[in-house]
């Protein structure tokens, strides 16, 4: 049986994602450096990240409805073209304009992400969904290595204009690749009509979003708790990681950047292995085991200074931790995609993405508020403990028809686009 890259439509979607992600990383690395160079203010630099979080929270319901009502291919092309055009005001170099553009770019990305994730399961056979998500993760990590390095070089040699040009070109190339995808299924043809509604009756967007939320009952309910735990832990990590490297390891900006960057190496290895692992383990089991592995490795890293502060040790640890980090995301996305019907998949995915962003923000706030009270060491171990609890919850949950591991009944090939598991009715922005 051919792999996901043997499917031309998936290959084009995958290539478009890599090209676009390279441009995203160019901008993500260059803009904060540019802001800090202009202002010398850490607070101003942090604002650049904060304004990127808010639009995704506000637009998640809209994004989900659009992903289920419109031709997803056309939606992604429009989003990519809009991202290319709205980058141009950055050429002014004005910091206020920069924050506005950052917010607009984040909002557009939030509109497109559910459509990408909802479209993928319609392009490959059901039994290849996990492997396809692994390839997406592999591409994202390749793009991270290329784009992050390119962003610093471009800013140093070509300034903001060079950064803007490369990112805009990446969106245009992505739009061209996406435009070559097969036309998507029916929502666009019925002008926003929900599946099963009488002809001429259009469901209001807010009602459509609420209808999609009903899918969160049944087999998806445990994932809500898993996302709350993992996203809160991610928020803690983003803040505490910098403090850990600075205070416990005696590092600086170079060491912080290097330890964050090498995680992509482990991610690349995991992306290459996902195809093999998906034939041996069901996606939920893969996610649960990876959460437990991440918790153990994180606890080893956070408590490592009790034994050594040698930088080589932590370089190796953070290379390794990149692998379970990727497998967690692949497993979670695959469970969501395989547990939902096509006509509501966009709304469910958008809801989970919005929940993740909200809890990640809560984790960031908690890190700042609780570190002086509990101490860095205790809070770091809480971060690892959240993953441990999430992994145990996943492995303790019966996933029913989603199971397709060794020795279990394989999925019916004719049910590639049918919902699985007990269903009461009609159904994760890229981490950085």
Query: Distances from the Cα of 69 to the Cαs of 9, 27, 191, 318, in angstroms?
Result: 21, 31, 8, 41
The CB-side HSE value for 417 (13 A sphere, CA atoms) comes to: 11
The mean pLDDT of the chain is 79
Contact by Cβ (8 Å): 20, 169? no
Q: Is the pLDDT of residue 401 over 90?
A: no
Q: Distance (Å, rounded) from C-alpha 388 to C-alpha 341?
A: 30
pLDDT at 189: 45
Domains of the chain plus CATH, in order, are 4-182 (1.20.1250.20), 215-403 (1.20.1250.20)
Closest CA relative to residue 205, chosen from 187, 231, 184: 187
Q: Strands (DSSP E) along 292-410, which ranges?
A: none
84 CB-near residues (< 8 Å, 6+ apart): 168, 169, 171, 172, 175
Question: Can you tell me the mean pLDDT for 392-407?
Answer: 65
pLDDT at 424: 31
Q: Is the pLDDT of residue 151 over 80?
A: no
Contact by Cβ (8 Å): 348, 212? yes
Calculate what percentage of the chain has a pLDDT beyond 70: 78
Q: Distance (Å, rounded) from C-alpha 30 to C-alpha 153?
A: 9
Digit-coded pLDDT (tens) for 59-111: 777 788 888 888 888 999 999 999 999 999 988 878 788 888 888 888 888 88
Digit-coded pLDDT (tens) for 254-291: 677 678 778 888 888 888 888 788 888 888 999 999 99
pLDDT at 244: 87
- Tally DSSP H helices, then E strands, for the chain: 13, 0
Digit-coded pLDDT (tens) for 340-381: 888 788 888 888 888 888 888 788 788 878 888 899 899 999
Q: Is the pLDDT of residue 136 over 70?
A: yes
> How much of the chain is helix, strand and coil, in % rounded to 5?
80, 0, 20
pLDDT at 10: 92
Q: Distance (Å, rounded) from C-alpha 56 to C-alpha 49?
A: 12
Question: Can you tell me the mean pLDDT for 48-57?
Answer: 69
């Amino acid at each position: 049986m051919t792999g996901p890259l043997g499917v031309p439509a998936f290959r084009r979607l995958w290539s478009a994602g890599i090209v676009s992600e390279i441009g995203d990383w160019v901008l993500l690395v260059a803009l904060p450096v540019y802001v800090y160079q202009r202002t010398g203010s850490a607070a101003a630099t942090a604002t650049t990240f904060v304004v990127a979080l808010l639009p995704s929270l506000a637009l998640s319901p809209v994004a989900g409805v659009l992903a289920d009502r419109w031709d997803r291919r056309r939606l992604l092309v429009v989003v990519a073209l809009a991202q290319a055009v709205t980058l141009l005001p950055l050429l002014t170099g004005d910091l206020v304009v920069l924050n506005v553009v950052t917010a607009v770019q984040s909002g557009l990305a939030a509109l497109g992400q559910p459509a990408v994730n909802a479209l993928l399961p319609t392009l490959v056979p059901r039994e290849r969904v996990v492997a396809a998500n692994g390839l997406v993760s592999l591409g994202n990590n390749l793009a991270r290595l290329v784009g992050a390095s390119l962003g610093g070089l471009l800013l140093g040699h070509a300034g903001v204009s060079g950064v803007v040009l490369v990112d805009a070109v990446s969106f245009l190339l992505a739009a061209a690749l996406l435009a070559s995808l097969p036309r998507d299924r029916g929502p666009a043809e019925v002008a926003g009509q929900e599946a099963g509604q009488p002809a001429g009756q259009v469901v209001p967007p807010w009602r459509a979003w609420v209808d999609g939320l009903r899918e969160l009952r049944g087999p998806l309910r445990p994932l809500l708790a898993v996302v709350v735990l993992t996203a809160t832990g991610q928020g803690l990590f983003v803040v505490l990681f910098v403090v850990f490297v600075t205070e416990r390891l005696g590092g600086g900006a170079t060491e912080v950047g290097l330890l964050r960057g090498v995680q992509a190496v482990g991610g690349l290895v995991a992306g290459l292995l996902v195809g093999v692992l998906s034939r041996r383990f069901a996606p939920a089991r893969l996610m649960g085991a990876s959460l437990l592995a991440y918790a153990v490795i994180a606890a080893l890293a956070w408590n490592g200074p009790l034994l050594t502060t040698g930088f080589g040790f932590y370089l190796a640890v953070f290379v390794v931790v990149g692998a379970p980090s990727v497998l967690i995301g692949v497993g979670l996305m695959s469970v969501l995609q395989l547990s939902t019907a096509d006509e509501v998949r966009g709304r469910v995915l958008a809801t989970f993405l919005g929940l993740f962003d909200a809890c990640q923000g809560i984790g960031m706030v908690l890190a700042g508020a609780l570190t002086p009270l509990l101490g860095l060491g205790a809070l770091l171990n809480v971060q690892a403990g959240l993953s441990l609890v999430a992994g145990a919850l996943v492995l303790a949950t019966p996933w029913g028809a989603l199971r397709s591991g060794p020795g279990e009944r394989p999925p019916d090939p004719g049910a590639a686009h049918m919902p699985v598991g007990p269903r009461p009715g009609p159904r994760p922005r890229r981490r950085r």
